[in-house]
Amino acid sequence: MKLNIVPARTGILWVRLGIRTFWRQPIAMTGLFFMFMALMSIASLLPYMGGFLALMLLPAATLGLMAAAREAFLGKFPMPTVLVSAFRAGQQRKKDMLVLGVLYAISFLGVMGLSALLDGGEFARLYLMGGSFSRETLMRDDFQAAMWLSTVLYLPLSALFWHAPALIHWHGISPVKSMFFSAMACLGNWRAFLVYVFTWLGVFAAVGLGVIVVAAITDSAELASVMLLPLMLLMAAMFFTSSYFSFHDSFATDPILA
* pLDDT value, residue 131: 63
Q: What is the largest CA-CA distance in the chain?
A: 57
User: Residue 237 in contact with residue 24, Cβ under 8 Å?
Assistant: no
Percentage of the chain modeled with pLDDT above 70: 95
* pLDDT value, residue 143: 85
Q: Is the pLDDT of residue 21 over 80?
A: yes
* pLDDT value, residue 73: 93
Q: Where are the alpha helices (DSSP H) in the chain?
A: 10-24, 26-45, 50-73, 91-119, 122-129, 135-139, 141-162, 164-171, 175-188, 190-218, 221-251
* pLDDT value, residue 139: 78
* pLDDT value, residue 257: 42
* pLDDT value, residue 214: 82
- How many residues in total does the chain contain? 258
Q: Is the pLDDT of residue 206 over 70?
A: yes
* pLDDT value, residue 128: 76
* pLDDT value, residue 136: 76
Out of 31-45, 103-117, 152-166, 211-225, least confident range:
211-225
Residue type, 252: A
User: Residue 251 in contact with residue 3, Cβ under 8 Å?
Assistant: yes
Q: Is the pLDDT of residue 148 over 50?
A: yes
* pLDDT value, residue 121: 81
* CA neighbor of 97 nearest in space, from 50, 51, 63, 122: 63
CA distance 104 to 160: 9
Entry pTM: 0.88
* pLDDT value, residue 230: 86
CA distance 207 to 256: 27
